[in-house]
């Protein structure tokens, strides 16, 4: 039974190899109603041949409010990074420093977000203040008079970004925006296990440093973070503190009053985003960059995942700390590698409950699942 379920999950999650990377992206589930209408995650793995060797680019974009911002980041950001790398005119023995590599990734992230903003606001170049509702709706609607223009859809949606660039010398450069996870695992000194180095921070309201940063950037605004729920929400709207897109939290409040409601079927105004949006932006598009060097290449792994994977493991293994769960990931990946299996698929399988009778995928198929399961995207790269 377990083998058949696992095979079905493999097909439904489109697990595949991209170059040396083991990957998959699984659309989430909404309780007994079944699979979501669409997967909002996007991911990519590419290898770029430069004069000084092969560079590996890998990224996960975990979208929310629709897939549009994540899709735009997928189509835009990788080429910006590659073009910047080419512009360095690397020679055969060139070894660019961490600061240079980190800067070019960061600049690509920021440029992507600024383009989302620019292409959206250019639709309303006459000025939101002077346009009527009918004129605004016409400006953000396609020629068919029905569909919302892609420039508007990627502005109202958002995405996190976890971007890894691995240089030919096994240096790992990670730029993170949001709450994806990226962990580098190297064999420990005794050779009996691994040491995990977390390369990503969670940019959300659960992170005290991020929470304090938002408050310091908006002094005198008690509603910049709403604490009425279990975890805080920026302007009462979103738990993230950094993201691409999400223009309702980056543009002046008049857009939340006059423009963004017109992109929704119910045309409803989010009053918090009108009343409390005083000094935007409230979400940052500046990524946090980290670097690591692999001194030993055997049995070394980089595991990247959208936040749904860690969220799922916390429910399956509630007795374990977050770091214990992250350490467990590499054990699952290594075992799968030795068995010739897709490492990303085995991680998802274990997150769903593994071979136990409580594997939630059984409940997904028979429509008895009561829980919500987020989209989950995983990239495992053996270095």
- Tens digit of pLDDT for each residue in 96-118? 999 999 999 999 999 999 999 99
Orientation of helix 343-351 relative to helix 322-338, angle to 10°? 130
| Domains in the chain: boundaries | 2-203+240-246+283-382, 204-239+247-282
- In the prediction, which pLDDT does 365 show? 87
Q: Name residue, tokens 């001194």.
A: 295
Residues 170, 172, 173: CA angle, nearest 5 degrees: 145
Domain 2-203+240-246+283-382 sits in CATH at 3.60.40.10
- Alpha-carbon distance of 48 to 57, in angstroms, equals 8
- Alpha-carbon distance of 232 to 221, in angstroms, equals 14
Give the DSSP letter of residue 284.
B
- In the prediction, which pLDDT does 296 show? 67
- In the prediction, which pLDDT does 237 show? 96
Residue 44 near residue 16, CB atoms below 8 Å: no
- Alpha-carbon distance of 227 to 204, in angstroms, equals 13
Q: What is the 3-state secondary structure (H, E, C) of 154-215?
A: HHHCEECEEEEEECCCCEEEEEEECCCEEEEEEECCCCCCEEEEECCCCCECCCHHHHHHHH
- Alpha-carbon distance of 302 to 381, in angstroms, equals 5
Q: How many helices (H) and strands (E) does the chain have?
A: 12, 17
Tokens of 206: 């659960």
- In the prediction, which pLDDT does 177 show? 98
What does pTM read for this prediction? Answer: 0.96
- Alpha-carbon distance of 40 to 228, in angstroms, equals 27
Which among 65, 23, 63 has a CA at the least distance from the CA of 44? 23
- In the prediction, which pLDDT does 327 show? 95
- In the prediction, which pLDDT does 125 show? 92
Residue 169 near residue 283, CB atoms below 8 Å: no
In sign, the C-alpha dihedral spanning 272, 276, 278, 279 is negative
**Positions in the chain whose pLDDT score sits under 50:** none
Per-residue pLDDT reduced to its tens digit, 216-242: 999 999 999 998 888 899 999 999 999
User: What is the distance, to the nearest Å, from the Cα of residue 197 to the centroid of all Cα atoms in its chain?
Assistant: 19
Residue 95: CB atoms within 10 Å: 12
Per-residue pLDDT reduced to its tens digit, 41-73: 999 999 999 999 999 999 999 999 999 999 999
């Amino acid at each position: 039974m377990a083998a058949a379920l696992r095979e079905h999950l493999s097909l439904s999650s489109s697990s595949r190899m991209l170059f040396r990377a083991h990957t998959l992206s699984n659309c989430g589930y909404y309780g007994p109603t079944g699979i979501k209408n669409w997967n909002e995650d996007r991911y990519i793995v590419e290898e770029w041949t430069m004069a000084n060797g092969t560079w590996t680019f890998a990224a996960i974009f975990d979208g929310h409010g629709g897939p549009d911002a994540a899709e735009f980041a997928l189509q835009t950001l990788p080429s910006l990074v590659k073009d910047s790398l080419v512009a360095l005119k690397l020679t055969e023995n060139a070894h660019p420093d961490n600061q240079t590599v980190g800067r070019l990734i960061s600049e690509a992230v920021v440029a992507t977000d600024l383009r989302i903003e620019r292409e959206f606001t250019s639709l309303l170049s006459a000025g939101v203040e002077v346009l009527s509702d009918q004129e605004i709706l016409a400006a953000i609607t396609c020629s068919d008079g029905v569909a919302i223009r892609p420039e508007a859809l990627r502005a109202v949606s958002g995405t996190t970004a976890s971007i890894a660039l691995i240089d030919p010398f096994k240096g790992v450069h990670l730029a993170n925006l949001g709450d994806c996870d990226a962990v580098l695992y190297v064999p420990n000194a005794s050779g009996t296990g691994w040491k995990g180095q977390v390369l990503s921070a969670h940019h959300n309201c659960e992170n005290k440093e991020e929470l304090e940063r938002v408050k310091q950037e908006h002094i005198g605004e008690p509603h910049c973070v709403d604490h009425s729920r279990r975890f805080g929400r920026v302007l009462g709207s979103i738990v993230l503190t950094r993201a691409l897109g999400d223009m309702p939290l980056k543009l002046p409040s008049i857009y939340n009053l006059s423009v963004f409601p017109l992109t929704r079927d119910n045309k409803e105004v989010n009053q918090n985003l009108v009343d409390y949006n005083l000094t935007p932006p409230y979400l940052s598009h500046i990524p946090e960059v980290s670097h690591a060097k692999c001194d030993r290449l055997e049995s070394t792994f980089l595991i990247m995942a959208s936040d749904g994977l860690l969220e799922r493991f916390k429910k399956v293994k509630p007795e374990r700390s977050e770091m214990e769960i992250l350490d467990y990931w590499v054990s699952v990946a290594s075992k799968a590698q030795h068995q010739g299996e897709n490492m990303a698929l085995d991680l998802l399988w274990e997150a769903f409950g593994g071979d136990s009778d409580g594997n939630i995928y059984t409940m997904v198929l028979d429509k008895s699942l009561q829980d919500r399961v987020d989209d989950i995207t995983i990239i495992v790269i053996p270095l």
